[in-house]
Amino acid sequence: MRKRISLVLAAVLACLCCAMPASAYSAAIEVVGGNRYQSIRLTPEVYNHANSDLSDLRILDSAGEAVPYFVNSGVQTVTKGEEIYPLMLVDAYAKGDAFYFDYALADAGGNGEDTVATALVFTTRNRGFAKRVAVYGGYDGEHWTFVQDDMLYVVDDVEKMDIVFPQQQKYTNYRLVMTNNLEAIAFDAVALVRSMMEVDSGLFMESLMPVFSVEESGTETLIKLEGLRNLRLCDITLETDSMFKRTVHVPYAGDKVLYNLELNGVAYTDTTLPMSLWQTVREETMVLTVENHDDKPIKVTGVAVRYYADEVVFEGRPGEAYTLQYGADETKKAPVYDIAAYKDEILKSDIGEAVIGVVVENEKRVKEVPPAHDYSGVFNAVIIGVAVLLGGVILLRLYKKN
């Protein structure tokens, strides 16, 4: 008898649990301007609670009707490696307290086209130096235009032997000026490099400062980041005043040595962790692990994250009230709308930038089209009444048997 009672009560409880409303989220959409098509940039708060593939997103109008849309991620990368153009040393001399290196393309104008460069790369056998250098560009070896200042250094196993240009350069001649060269630094080879990795201009990059906490565990520092679930991360940068050189383990990205050093008045800093373009964070809490060994833990004052965002594009009418709804229902499939078939043409047009309002957690599951009447309260009351009635019958039978 007790076993039968337990089974009955378990079934009743299961029914009660099924009757409880599931959580869902919604946010008002504000249409801006009179453009026929509107786009909304998805926020981290939307990603955190939606399905990882965004299949549960729905847009409803004021009548509760589903509005067709398509997702525009803007992530289209084409990687073609790099092109390398050797430079030859034309002249090297000292002038005052500075040392000059003049270089020219080994095959300037050989193909009749401009030589486009994104960086200068140096090779040397010297070790244990750090030099601030000024880079100039020209076409005839006589007239020079300042390009930028930068650092070249090899200190222990920390090395930086390239100068990345903020924008592409087309000079055929380059001059490198060192403030001093008492160590007689020499370069075995110098080359122009053109990076052929092109990222579509539609790439949507956003930044945020996530909530984080720091814990010490033995010889490791655990940096716990919140609110990154379902985001495609570009990179993570640690903000710190600590002097250190440590290996950091990053989920999905492996290990990288970060450092923040100052030697002889020269600062050497790399505190950025690059992430894979196509990797999505799955955890509610992402943990970075810093290997301290026997050194004191570093003091992290802030964390900056850059991530790739998506836009949702739909046909919107001025003055109409729209709502974005999602409920993180993993069984929900993405809707198929005709608008996706001609999205390339739509993206060529002038699209308005709608705004997502404050996200609200609802008390009932999101429905694509709300029913005319909501009977959930009546259904719950019936279930509870049945549960009470069954409990009373069971207790009465036990009382009579005893």
Q: What is the pLDDT of residues 340-352, one digit of tens each?
A: 999 989 988 899 9
Q: Residue 243 corresponds to which amino acid?
A: M
Instruction: Return d(Cα 61, Cα 34) in angstroms, integer.
Output: 17
Question: What pLDDT is attached to residue 32?
Answer: 84
Question: What pLDDT is attached to residue 206?
Answer: 92
Question: What pLDDT is attached to residue 113?
Answer: 60
Q: State yes or no: pLDDT of 161 exceeds 80.
A: yes
Question: HEC states along the chain?
Answer: CHHHHHHHHHHHHHHHHHHCCCCEEEEEEECCCCCCEEEEECCHHHHHHCCCCCCCCEEECCCCCECCEEEECCCCEEEEEEEEEEEEEEEEEEECCEEEEEEEECCCCCCCCCCCEEEEEEECCCCCEEEEEEEEEECCCCCCEEEEEEEEEEECCEEECEEEEEEEECCCEEEEEECCCCCCCCCCEEEEEEEEEEECCCCCEEEECCCEEEEEECCEEEEEEECCCCCEEEEEEEEECCCEEEEEEECCCEEEEEEEEEECCEEEEECEEECCCCCECCCCEEEEEEECCCCCCCCEEEEEEEEECCEEEEECCCCCCEEEEECCCCCCCCCCCHHHHHHHHHHCCCCEECEEEEEEEECCCCCCCCCCCCCHHHHHHHHHHHHHHHHHHHHHHHHHHC
Q: State yes or no: pLDDT of 236 exceeds 70.
A: yes
Question: What pLDDT is attached to residue 16?
Answer: 42
Interval 86-128: pLDDT, tens: 999 999 998 888 899 999 998 755 544 678 899 999 999 988 8
Q: State yes or no: pLDDT of 330 exceeds 70.
A: yes
Can you tell me the mean pLDDT for 367-390?
Answer: 62
Question: What pLDDT is attached to residue 197?
Answer: 56
Instruction: Return d(Cα 101, Cα 177) in angstroms, integer.
Output: 6
Question: What pLDDT is attached to residue 13?
Answer: 43
Question: What pLDDT is attached to residue 36?
Answer: 93
Domain 78-199 adopts which CATH fold? Answer: Jelly Rolls (2.60.120)
Question: What pLDDT is attached to residue 37?
Answer: 95
Q: State yes or no: pLDDT of 210 exceeds 80.
A: yes
Q: State yes or no: pLDDT of 5 exceeds 80.
A: no
**Contact in structure between 87 and 191 (CB atoms under 8 Å):** yes
Task: Decide if domain 205-308 falls under CATH 2.40.128.
Answer: no
Which range is most confident: 198-212, 221-235, 251-265? 221-235
Instruction: Return d(Cα 285, Cα 224) in angstroms, integer.
Output: 6
**Contact in structure between 74 and 203 (CB atoms under 8 Å):** yes
Q: Residue 287 corresponds to which amino acid?
A: V
Pick from 185-189, 218-222, 389-393: least confident: 389-393
Question: What pLDDT is attached to residue 179?
Answer: 83
How far does the chain reach from its first CA to its final CA, in angstroms? Answer: 12
Average of per-residue pLDDT values in the chain: 83
- Tell me which of 316 and 368 has the higher pLDDT: 316
Task: Tokens for 361, please give them.
Answer: 């957690």
Can you tell me the mean pLDDT for 179-203?
Answer: 76
Q: State yes or no: pLDDT of 54 exceeds 50.
A: yes
Phi–psi pair at 281, nearest 5 degrees: -70, 130
Question: What pLDDT is attached to residue 351?
Answer: 92
Q: What percent of the chain has pLDDT over 90?
A: 54
- 281 falls in which pLDDT band (50, 70, 90)? very high
Pick from 6-10, 163-167, 282-286: least confident: 6-10
